[in-house]
Structure 1
Amino acid sequence: MKASQTRRKFIKSSLLTSTVPFLPPLTAVDAGDESHEQAMPRKTIAQTKSIIGSYGPWAASLQAQPSLSFRNARWKPEQLASWKKEAISKTREFLAAPPQPATPKVQIDRTYEYDGLIIEELTWQLPYGSPTKAVVLKPKGAKGPLPAILALHDHAGKKYFGYRKIVKTGDDQHPLLAEHQLVDYEGRAWANEIAKRGYVVLVNDAFAFGSRRVMYEDTAGLPNGPLSTKDKTDADPEKAENIEVYNQWSSDHEHVMSKSLFCAGTTWPGVFLSEDQVALSILCARKDVDPQRVGCGGLSGGGLRTVYLAGLDTRIKCCVCVGFMTTWDDFTLNKSYTHTWMTYVPVLPRYLDFPEILGIRVPLPTMVQNNNQDELYTLPEMKTADRILQEVFAKAGAKDRYAGRYYDGDHKFDKAMQLDAFDWFDRWLK
């Protein structure tokens, strides 16, 4: 299947109909003060049509200009630390991440060699849900402590798989994984490739993916998955047909999970952040890892997780966000329907534009990679996000620590992009 066909299939599977929590009226405090208005004049929306019809310009105007933007003239360059403290506090408030669990005991299930690497298969148990499965990869014979990468897997409408989407641990790779890596990664298991360059790489299943996915048999009050009625002899979960059925069911279930998380007082990005921070703690605690030289990155859903984790956790000394950067306006007016429910944090857009969440990490090294023909975003808004991050880093006196790159092609993290990303990690972590 061609990449564009796969992407269109994913976009189609993302067309989920639901409601969004009611937002209270904008207050004078939210709108910003006079200096804010002078530095960042209220935007005007030129387009008259949008994915929500004639309501688009009105909806986009509700956030006016984010009141906690570091680009605001009321924040002086020398106030960087104060701004970061306030921006982190406000972002955490609306992320509403569940309480951070203690770092769990890690069980090593298997250790072996493959592809010139030592591979450890790990399991740990959080206070809720199924045990988390993960892998660690590092060069055979490497002497520690080494720099490390928390590699964040993608979404791609494929929740049956988690970490397996970006690693290769044997020659008997599942055909669906081989196809996925061919389409999105030019046939490369990128976690393996960066490990070979001298890194300890940890890849964990994210919330609702792989070992952490929602199981048919655990749901109630909804029609159970089609497999629950199939003959037991045809119920092999690794059968390609059954995986595709599960991926469609879990896509249809995504709005249910998101609404339930809102009702529980949290958000999907908040849960991602909490669980990825647990994985980061596990990685940093390893004896073969230098905790002062740890980075993270990933494509698409992995790029989304990079925005929140790297934006809010200073243990991430270097990051690469791939194929997930635009503005809240782009989501509001053009592209919210192409994206997972895992993206959104209600109310936060009043305070920070989407790229500014990642910008909270300034002056720590940050790269963003964009594809010019990516159907998930509009190119003008990708470039607007790039300019926002350039301005944030320049104002903080860290212009050389931000890099925004553009590549021809659809949504992907191909070999050329991987090499640029790996060189960026080498520059700042080695």
Structure 2
Amino acid sequence: MRADRGGLWDLADIARRDRGLFPEAGPDLPERLRDALGVLDLRARDVRVERRWSGAGLDGEELSWTVGFGPRTRARLLRPRGAAGPLPGVLAAHCHAGMKWAGKDKIADGPEPPAPEDRYDRAARDHEHVLAKACTLLGTSFTGVLASEDLAAAAYLRSRPDIASDPDSASDADTASGADTGSGVSSESGTVLGSGGGSAPDVPSLAGAASVSAIGLSGGGVRAAILGALDPGVGAVVVAAAVSSFRDLREEHVAAHSWMLFPPGLTRLADWPGVVAARAPAPRMVLYAAADPLFPAAGMRRAHRRIAEAYRDAPGRYTGVFFDAPHRFDRAMQDAAFAWLAETAGGDSRR
């Protein structure tokens, strides 16, 4: 029935017809996406180890660096306690839910107990909207700034001597951390790497070729997918509860998401599954929450089919798993993701 869809979807149909939305993704999508997002050449500079701790079977470091604007990025770097030698690295991105106060605390424990979850920071949420508008005015995008910061974090990971540069020599144990991005709003990245000492030198934006993967839930999954599309140095990517075809979204789905999922111009390059699969056959895992109210079931099924089609010549390099779950990344989903990463990180996961 068309009547219950409202005028907004009539507009969407007109735009799809007149503007050629959701084209097939071509091999040049990563570069076109970089240009459309307005990605900046940011670098992690003046990297500092703020403190170290050990506990719960982990050695941890709190790191900070600057990307040239805003507050310093703060990250937690976790490693199996006493582990020796280089380990694979994983950049972990938290969700972008309504509670904006905490970021890295959502996904990486520190030496103190996590802050109470009821600290909803309305000012940070409102600032996200202001920043999104300002970025567009400045020729970039909110998503582009976040992607630029994530690219800098991934490059920093690859530059570290304790991140395995040769997957064949890497231990099967991973490390993990979380980071607060320099934007000072809702976005924070996470990192999985090893312990190190002292400050690091300035890091070029595409330094090294270490074993680095990415993982994220919800908005963090969006960031992980975009990072995987933009950065050929990122190998395996896990995206949880963040993938659907855009063409199947209805008003209630669009309203549920932040600016980050809808950067201007993206739909003229590809549908969202095309971005997730942009660097096929680089390994990708998508965890679909089948009861997720933020995405339509039809959109998730369409996305799974489209990504599988993009990987038709690379059997085993794409894994899509449907869970009977709402919008979350629960223990069963985490177990599946970490088992897949442990297996994938043991080989050459880069294109």
TM range (shorter): 0.7 to 0.9
- After superposition, give the CA deviation of every residue in 1:142-180 in whole Å (9 maximum; x if it has no partner): 12211111111111112221111111123533232xxxx
Matches within 5 A, 1:291-306: 291=165, 292-306=210-224
Q: Residues 48 and 424 of structure 1: is their aligned pair in 2 closer, same or farther, counting only changes over 3 Å?
A: farther
- The amino acid across from 2:298 in the alignment is P
SS at match of 2:123: helix
* Partner of residue 176, structure 2: none
Unaligned runs of 5+ residues in structure 2 are 166-209, 347-351
SS at match of 2:49: strand
Indicate conservation of the 8 Å contact 1:338/1:376, yes or no: yes
* Partner of residue 142, structure 2: 268
CA distance in 2 between counterparts of 1:115 and 1:47 reads 56
* Partner of residue 409, structure 1: 325
- The amino acid across from 2:305 in the alignment is R
SS at match of 2:164: strand
- What is the percentage of aligned positions where both structures have the same residue? 32
* Partner of residue 14, structure 2: 58
CA distance in 2 between counterparts of 1:410 and 1:66 reads 27
SS at match of 1:410: coil
- The amino acid across from 1:318 in the alignment is A
Q: Residues 347 and 173 of structure 1: is their aligned pair in 2 closer, same or farther, counting only changes over 3 Å?
A: closer
Which structure: greater helix fraction?
1
TM-score, normalization by structure 2: 0.81
- After superposition, give the CA deviation of every residue in 1:182-220 in whole Å (9 maximum; x if it has no partner): xxxxxxxxxxxxxxxxxxxxxxxxxxxxxxxxxxxxxxx
Q: CA deviation at 1:47?
A: 4.9
TM-score, normalization by structure 1: 0.67
Matches within 5 A, 1:351-362: 351-362=269-280
Unaligned runs of 5+ residues in structure 1 are 1-45, 71-82, 177-239
Q: Is residue 66 of structure 2 the alignment partner of residue 121 of structure 1?
A: no
Report how many aligned residue pairs link the two structures. Answer: 301
2:254 to 328, 332, 336: 336
SS at match of 2:279: coil
Q: Residues 112 and 383 of structure 1: is their aligned pair in 2 closer, same or farther, counting only changes over 3 Å?
A: same
Q: CA deviation at 1:90?
A: 1.3
- The amino acid across from 1:135 in the alignment is R
Larger Rg: 1
* Partner of residue 221, structure 1: none
* Partner of residue 427, structure 1: 343
* Partner of residue 160, structure 1: 101
* Partner of residue 268, structure 2: 350
CA distance in 2 between counterparts of 1:387 and 1:304 reads 19
Q: Is residue 96 of structure 2 the alignment partner of residue 141 of structure 1?
A: no
Taking only aligned residues, the RMSD between alpha carbons, in angstroms, comes to 1.9
* Partner of residue 90, structure 1: 32
SS at match of 1:156: coil
Indicate conservation of the 8 Å contact 2:49/2:62, yes or no: yes
Q: CA deviation at 1:64?
A: 4.0
1:369 to 287, 302, 317: 287
* Partner of residue 254, structure 1: 128
CA distance in 1 between counterparts of 2:249 and 2:130 reads 20
CA distance in 2 between counterparts of 1:294 and 1:137 reads 15
Q: CA deviation at 1:57?
A: 2.9
